[in-house]
Amino acid sequence: MIFDPRGWCALVLSLFAATASAAEGMWTLDNLPLAQLKAKYGFEPDAKWVDHVMKASVRLADGCSGSFVSKDGLVLTNAHCVLSCVQDLSGKKDWVNDGFVARKREEEVACPTMELNRLEQITDVTDQIRAATAGKQGEDYVDAKQAAQAKLESDCTGKDAAHTRCDVVELYDGGKFDLYRYHRFQDVRLVFWPEYRAAFFGGDPDNFSFPRYNLDMGMLRAYENGKPAKVKDFFPLNPAGAKPGELTMVTGHPGSTDRQLTMAQLEGLRDYRLIDMALYMAERRAMLAQYSRIGAEAARQAQTDLTFTANSLKVYRGQLEALHDPAVFARKQQDEQALRAAAASDAPWEAVAQAERVRRNHYIRYMMLERRQAFYSDEFRIARELVRHADEMAKPNASRLPEYQDSALPRIEQRVMSKAPIYPEYEKAKLTWSLTKLREAVGPDDPLVMLVLGKESPAQLAAELVDHSELADLSVRKKLWNGGAAAIAASKDPFIELARAVDAPSRAVRKTMEADVDGPEERAAEEIAKVRFDKYGTSVYPDATFTLRLSYGEVKGWDEDGHEVAPYTQMEGAFARQTGSDPFLLPKSWNAAKDKLDLSTPFDFVTTNDIIGGNSGSPVINRDAQIVGLAFDGNQHSFGGAYWFDERLNRCVAVHPAAIAEALSKIYDAGALLKEMEGR
């Protein structure tokens, strides 16, 4: 799954790409590669087309993409993008495994923490940021930039934070700053989710591979004022799909790419960061898998976390392997040498190398504390958000941590006030494990471990926290949210106390990372960007930033060690692949409907579109802005896509619209939804 796990994605760095190869590129909608589209496919989109496509595309705030597919706010995305919602809602009924179809509007159920963003406008604010930061250095520079951004965002949002979200997006390493204004939807309801077995057929073994047989499809509906949102721009479904060689475009929100990192940064990733992340995820997967073996209920509790943990592990391992490919490294080295030769000095590269040395010294503590690796718990997350909310709201908007500024606040509140259930034993298992990781990472004599564990073992502390906390109670959270600093200071809730206790060291290490690593690296990247501009010109795209991008390509298989991989699979393949046991077992509904299905229906397919984590749920559209696919994954060669795009091998994997139509009409008795999507 090319999900962008924002909570985990420590690898976001905005640098930009030079000399894009054929289908390479994640283009901002105000700078499409018009010449290439015309030359290669004879396609000349006009401004109206671009505006339409922009407004029909949506972003799922938790790390996915999607699109409107009807005038009544129906949204098509991936099943794995709505899984968290389904799990949150599966209190009494096991919708995760039984599936969910709202055949009438009144059966649609609100997702506790889902938020959709529709991009409405892009405004260049480069001059304003430049003016605010002119002549500033070091922390002053960072502060000035953050303040300017916060003001721009706040002015743009106005008093309508409930419906408007504005983000300053830094592109091309600070070569350009754009203000993205979104319409925000926070009442988002679940409409369709196939059974887990259909969505994740082949499970972790098949993840990031092809041939593939997944109905990785989910549907939501945006509501406003208690009614389905009326939208002007949407993509109708075209079950005919796209033919081999036909132009396909993906409009979605790639999370992050690292295609312009310096050698020092790539070495850091290869030599410890990705190893560390892979080890963390490997252990977490094993812990969750073993917890799941307790029984069906435990398995249900851990199912979503397990799915995403396994996915993350595969990504980190794949990226690690990609970085161990001598060819990649040699190419990167060459690129850097060419740039250095063109530069007036090596200073920016040396600054990055120095920042990387600093990062190494603080990395573990940063991951443990600020990225919460030490506190793998929903209640701790909520406690931290409550504690920080109280602290940050005492400051003027521009001085707050970015995630507590006005434009971001509704998202945090939604998460804190989520109705998603909390499972005490599950919380204990996760915390016991992650507190043990903390002690392992910094050593038992570290003051931080003394502070957190005191005289207790991880298991004892986990049990005490969970047994004595009242944060599972929404009304308690509400009081703490509304009560501000006084309520937080007075709270005896052990999770609040813990979050308070580790807040200072956590903020400290974040500050160090921002001031001494990210700051210097951003400024160095700006300088390198200038060298690159001078050398390669401007027909380039910026690294991914979880903002709307268009990539173009076509339906096309690839050559795997001399064996041609065909671009389409058919539904019959899924039945042939069944073994009778998970994850190679189709749901009952599929086996029951088998005789009714046209088994030659195309199921999944691959294209040359350049996508990455965050693009999950992106529409694959044709030049008529019709949906001809639903992107959900990359093939096994896509891991290297974080660092470079290899058009020969890297493929986007998508659900074919014919399979969507066949499944909705013949398996799920959801003809009405299909009709709505087809605009009939």
Q: Which of 145, 284, 400, 656 binds a second copy (CB under 8 A)?
A: 284
Q: Looking at beta carbons only, is 432 or 506 nearer to a second copy? A: 432
Q: How far is the CB of 457 from a second copy (least distance, A)?
A: 4
Q: Which two tokens stand for residue 197?
A: 């077995």
Task: State whether residue 120 is helix, strand or coil.
Answer: strand
Asked if 139 contacts 519 with a C-beta cutoff of 8 angstroms, the reply is yes
Q: Is 361 in the site for a second copy (CB under 8 A)?
A: no
CB atoms within 10 A of CB 201: 27
| Window contacting a second copy (CB under 8 A); options: 135-143, 285-293, 494-502, 666-674 | 285-293
Residue 315 binding a second copy, by CB under 8 A:
no
Which segments of 22-64 does DSSP mark as H helices, in order?
34-41, 47-56
> How far apart, in Å, are the Cα atoms of 400 and each of 143, 389, 405?
10, 10, 6
Q: Is 641 in contact with 650 (CB distance < 8 Å)?
A: yes
285 interacts with a second copy by CB under 8 A: yes
* Nearest-angstrom CA–CA distance, 131 and 137: 13
Stretch of 20-28, 160-168, 402-410, 454-462 contacting a second copy, by CB under 8 A: 454-462
Q: Which is nearer to a second copy, 135 or 454 (CB)?
A: 454
Binding status of residue 468 toward a second copy by CB under 8 A: no
Q: Which of these segments, 46-54, 437-445, 523-531, 611-619, binds a second copy (CB under 8 A)?
A: 437-445
Quote the CA–CA distance of 50 and 502 in Å, as a whole number.
47
502: its two tokens: 């580790």
- What is the maximum alpha-carbon separation in the chain? 72
Task: Report the nearest approach of a second copy to the CB of residue 103 (Å).
Answer: 33
Calpha distance 250→383 (Å, rounded)? 38
CB of 496 to a second copy, least distance (A): 23
Residues with Cβ within 8 Å of 464's Cβ and at least 6 positions away in sequence, in order, are 456, 494
Q: Give the C-alpha distances (Å, rounded to integers) separating 202 from 199, 290, 558, 578.
A: 9, 20, 21, 9
Smallest separation (angstroms) from a second copy to the CB of 399: 37
From 41-49, 154-162, 182-190, 427-435, give the range in contact with a second copy by CB under 8 A: 427-435
- In the complex, least distance from residue 427 CB atom to a second copy, rounded to whole angstroms: 13
- Indicate whether 565 belongs to the interface with a second copy (CB under 8 A): no
Write the CB contacts of 187 (distance below 8 Å, at least 6 apart in sequence).
110, 222, 223, 224, 226
584 is a contact residue toward a second copy (CB under 8 A): yes
Nearest approach, Cβ of residue 240 and a second copy (Å) = 30
Nearest residue (CB) to a second copy, 123 versus 209? 209
* DSSP for 385-396, written as a single string: HHHHHHHHHTS-
Tell me the DSSP string of 534-596.
HHH-S---BPP-SS-EEEEEEB--EEETTEEEPSEEEHHHHHHH--SSTTS---HHHHHHGGG
Q: Is 293 in the site for a second copy (CB under 8 A)?
A: yes
**430/500 with CB nearer a second copy:** 430
Q: How far is the CB of 83 from a second copy (least distance, A)?
A: 21
Residues in Cβ contact with 498 at an 8 Å cutoff, skipping those fewer than 6 apart = 375, 380, 383, 452, 465
Question: Of 105-113, 165-173, 267-275, 333-341, which segment contacts a second copy by CB under 8 A?
Answer: 267-275
Label the pairing between strands 74-77 and 218-224: antiparallel
Q: In what order do the strands lie in the sheet with 247-252?
A: 27-28, 549-554, 247-252, 619-621, 627-634, 652-655, 602-607, 568-570
Asked if 627 and 621 touch (Cβ cutoff 8 Å), the reply is: yes
**From CA 82, how far away is CA 90, in angstroms rounded?**
12
Q: Least separation, in Å, of the C-beta of 363 and a second copy?
A: 13
Query: Are the beta carbons of 320 and 275 closer than 8 angstroms?
Result: yes
> Applying CB under 8 A, which of residues 109, 460, 470, 678 lies at the interface with a second copy?
460
Q: Tell me: does residue 433 bind a second copy (CB under 8 A).
A: yes
Which one, 436 or 569, has the nearer CB to a second copy? 436
Q: Which CB atom, from 323 or from 670, has the smaller least distance to a second copy?
A: 323
**Contact call for residues 265 and 356 (beta carbons, < 8 A):** yes
Q: Which residues contact 562 (CB under 8 A, 6 or more apart)?
A: none
Restricting to residues 189-218, which ones interact with a second copy according to CB under 8 A? 202, 204-206, 209
Q: Could you write out the DSSP letters of every residue in 219-282?
A: EEEEEETTEEPP-S----B-TT---BT-EEEEEE------TT--HHHHHHIIIIIHHHHHHHHH
Give the nearer residue to a second copy in terms of CB position, either 290 or 539: 290
Residue range at the interface with a second copy (CB under 8 A); choices 114-122, 216-224, 276-284, 603-611 = 276-284
- Cβ proximity to a second copy: between 226 and 326 the closer is 326
Could you tell me which stretch among 316-324, 393-401, 475-483, 515-523 binds a second copy (CB under 8 A)? 316-324
In the complex, least distance from residue 289 CB atom to a second copy, rounded to whole angstroms: 7
Interacting stretch for a second copy, rule CB under 8 A, among 64-72, 251-259, 315-323, 391-399? 315-323
Interaction of residue 362 with a second copy, rule CB under 8 A: no
Which is closer to a second copy, CB of 233 or CB of 267?
Answer: 267
Does 330 bind a second copy (CB under 8 A)? Our answer is: no
Smallest gap from Cβ 42 to a second copy, in A, equals 40
The one segment of 155-163, 184-192, 280-288, 535-543 that binds a second copy by CB under 8 A: 280-288
From 23-31, 73-81, 378-386, 440-448, give the range in contact with a second copy by CB under 8 A. 440-448
d(CA 137, CA 154): 24
Q: Is 279 in the site for a second copy (CB under 8 A)?
A: yes
Count the residues of the shown chain that bind a second copy, applying the rule CB under 8 A: 46
Contacting residue, 432, 491, 622, 638, with a second copy by CB under 8 A? 432
- Amino acid at site 615: N
Q: How far apart are CA 53 and CA 35, in angstroms?
A: 19
Does 232 participate in binding a second copy (rule CB under 8 A)?
Answer: no
CB closer to a second copy, 446 vs 526 = 446
Contact flag: residue 529 with a second copy (CB under 8 A): no
Contact positions toward a second copy, by CB under 8 A?
Answer: 202, 204-206, 209, 271-272, 275, 278-279, 282-287, 289-291, 293-294, 317, 320-321, 324, 429, 432-433, 436, 439-440, 443-444, 453-457, 459-460, 579-584
